[in-house]
Every structure is written in C-alpha cells, then in structure tokens.
Structure 1
Amino acid sequence: MKVIAFERSVQGTGASRRLRNAGKTPGIIYGGTAEPKMIELDHNALFHALKKEAFHSSILDLEVGGTTEKALLRAFQMHPFKPLVLHVDFQRVSATEKIHVKVPLHFMNQETAPGVKLGHGIINHILNELEVSCLPGDLPEFIEVDMGAVELGQTVHLSDLKLPKGVTPITHGDDNPAVASIALPAGGVSEAASEGEGETPAA
C-alpha cells in the first residue's frame, strides 16, 4: 500500500492544531540509520486507510518529498470522541532485518466445523492476532486458522496453525497458546444431557 506524506518543519501544539484545522494529520517516521522525520498526511485519506486491516499489518510504501521508504504503521492517536486522527507514527524497515509485527488471524470454515454444524456449539476466538518475527518480504497480510475439522469441546492451539515460510511466532510465557475453541453456548446442554430430560427420578 502506498502512503503519500509531506515533510513538516514547524512543530508544537499550535502548529499541530493548525495542521488539523487544514485537514492534515501530523506524524513521524523513525528507525533505521536515518534521522526521525516529521511529516504530515491528508487526514481523510489516512482516516479511511486506518479502517483497512492490511494498513495495520503490511509493509507500506511511504513517499515523502518524492522519496519512497518502506515502513510499518506503529501507532496512531485518535480524538477521544471525534472521528479525528491526532497523530501517527511510522517505523522504517530494512529488507535484511527481521521485524516484530502483530498479524491478524482469519478464521476459515467456521460454519462447516463439526462442533458448530453437528454439535450446535459456538466458536470462541481466544486470539484475534498473532505476534510474529520475520523479514519484511515474508510478512503475511493475515494467518489462516482452519476450523473445518474442529469438534465440540476441542481447542485449536498455535501448534495447529500452518505458518508461512520464514514466519516465527513470538509467545510470551506460553509456547503453545490456545487460539480458538468450540463450546456450547451459555445455558446450553449437550445431547447426552438432553436425552435424559423428561425422565422421572425413581421414588
């Protein structure tokens, strides 16, 4: 994805306020061997880009003053109640240095999972994203979680996922965390329990 930005020389609260009043969002790009660079971006274009999942987890082509750099979105600040992006941070990336990125999980075949179709369970997404380490060229836009064979009461763990080549998961304390599970909804009863309904207890 390509992002157009412009250098800004004036800093401070007042300058940032004037930028926002003019439909611009102040930002910064940092990292690598170059100095941090203060930038400004068109607010409306940035606001709509932030709604796209790929904008948060893809290598971006950030053009500043006619020069394009590879970068990752690292942070953005929203107004507490207005649809207004107050500030945005980008980090430069090198093709030869590994990056740490949170990649969204896409859950596939949820409706056809045996635990849902036959067991009448519901899927619980324990994780919605996975932190990974990889070279920028190996960064996936998302990672698939195939629920197609998951039964009622089963849990999908990290070890069950097929990670793309060159992608290593980063776990914090738990080497094989749970990703998703299928369980009966609250108040639901299993088929075995429902078969016993209506029986009168022995006197």
Structure 2
Amino acid sequence: MSDNKSLKAELRTEDFGSAGARRLLRTKRIPAVIYGKNEPVHIILDSREFTNKMRHFSETALLKISVGKKSYECLMKDYQENLMRAEIKHVDFFEVTRGQVLRTLVSIVLKGNPVGTKEGGVLDQVMHEVEIECFPKDLPAALEADVTSLKINQSLHLKDVVIPANVKVLDDLAKTVASVKGVKAEAVAPAEEAVAVAAPAEADKDAKAKK
C-alpha cells in the first residue's frame, strides 16, 4: 500500500468530550474514530501528516491506519472542518474486512470531449456517484463514463458505463449519467420574445408622437 494511503495514530483512552478535543487540536493533533464490526476505536492523528496526505484520499481509497502494533484497513467516511481556521476537527473511518462484501458509494468521472459540445452544446453531468457492492480488493477508485460520442440532445445512461469485473451496481441502470444539451435554440427564443415585446412599445410611442 502506498505511503500516501497510510497513517500512524495513537490510541485515545482518556480526556474525551469537547474540552478534550479542543486540547488535542491545540497541540496539532486530531481526534478520530474507527467504526466497524467491533466497538468503536478512538484514536489520535497527527494533524500535519493527515492534512498532507488527505488530498490522496477519497471515499473509495483503502487506508491503512497503524495504532501501535495493530493496523486497520479503513475507508474515510466523514470529517469535520473549521473553515475559518483551515483546521480538521474530527475524522470518522470505517473498518473493512478482507473477504467480506463491502457496500459503498463510488464517484463517476466523465471521460472525453463530447461531439455535441463542438456543435454548441453543453455537457451536463447528472449523476456524480453510484452505490456499488464488491470485495475490498476489487474496490475501484472511480467509475469512468466515456462521453466522447454524445451528440446534442443525447444522453449516457448507467447501463452504458463500463463496470469492472466483480463489481455490482446497486442503482437503476436506466438512470442518466450525463447528457449534452443544445443551448443555441434556447438562447434565440428569449431574444425573439424581447423583439416582440419591444415592437408594440415602439408602435405606441409613434402613435403618441403623431398626436
């Protein structure tokens, strides 16, 4: 496993609660919890290490968290952030078990430049993530949806996305993932309407001038 997907932590056995969390944050450490099949494990992360590696994490990135001599294979499920201070306040991890089916959300990434956008259309991504089921070893970082062949007013559906082997999609395959919408026709209509509205106004102005 890449070093960017590994974290070192210490076990948190005391000083719980909001006051304890604030004391940890002041010392550049982050309170965190590992949830899973057993009781939650409360841990403490090094703030610098976590923030430096966080950009490599995603909801489907398997992380190795070492706590003393024990290690946990986890997914990062959520985190709390103080935007004013640019500070991570708390992190939630979910422990996965090798050999057991995992159910999670995975991002959908669009690939390619649609034909329709070269003709004046606009690409609209309707679906950004989908729920899947697979073993941890088969967990994809993301699903790629190739939109290259989409023309104006055409759509790509979930059934058209290439799904890796051993991965099961748990959503409706008829759902639209992305589409290319035509905007030229829509832009002309308001302009024509504006002209139609302006015309009576000009006629009324001319009538008053003649009086």
Q: Give the TM-score taking structure 1 as reference length.
A: 0.83
Task: Give the Å deviation of 1:79.
Answer: 1.8
Q: Does 1:129 align with 2:129?
A: yes
Identify the residue that residue 181 of structure 2 maps to in structure 1: 183
SS state at 1:27 partner = strand
Which residue in the other structure is 1:5 paired with?
9
**CA distance in structure 1 between the partners assigned to 2:53 and 2:182 by the alignment:** 37
What per-residue deviation string (whole Å, max 9, x for no partner) do you get for residues 151-191 of structure 1? Answer: 111011100001001111122xx442110001123xx228x
Larger Rg: 2
Find the residue that maps to 1:9 and give its secondary structure. coil
Query: Aligned-residue CA RMSD in angstroms?
Result: 1.8
Aligned to 1:86: 89
Letter in 1 for 2:12: R
**More helix per residue:** 2
Partner of 1:45: 49
Q: Which string of whole-angstrom CA distances, capped at 9 and with x for unpartnered residues, describes residues 117-172 of structure 1?
A: 2x22111011122221111011001111101111111011100001001111122x
CA offsets 1:17-67 (integer angstroms, 9 cap, x no match): 1100000110011212x3321101111322233333x43321111111132
Q: What is the CA–CA distance in structure 1 between the aligned matches of 2:170 and 2:80, rounded to whole Å?
A: 25
Matches within 5 A, 1:17-28: 17-28=22-33
Compute the TM-score of the two structures, normalised by the length of structure 2: 0.80
Alignment of 1:99-138 (within 5 A): 99-110=102-113, 113-117=114-118, 119-138=119-138
Instruction: Compute the displacement of 1:74 (Å).
Output: 1.5
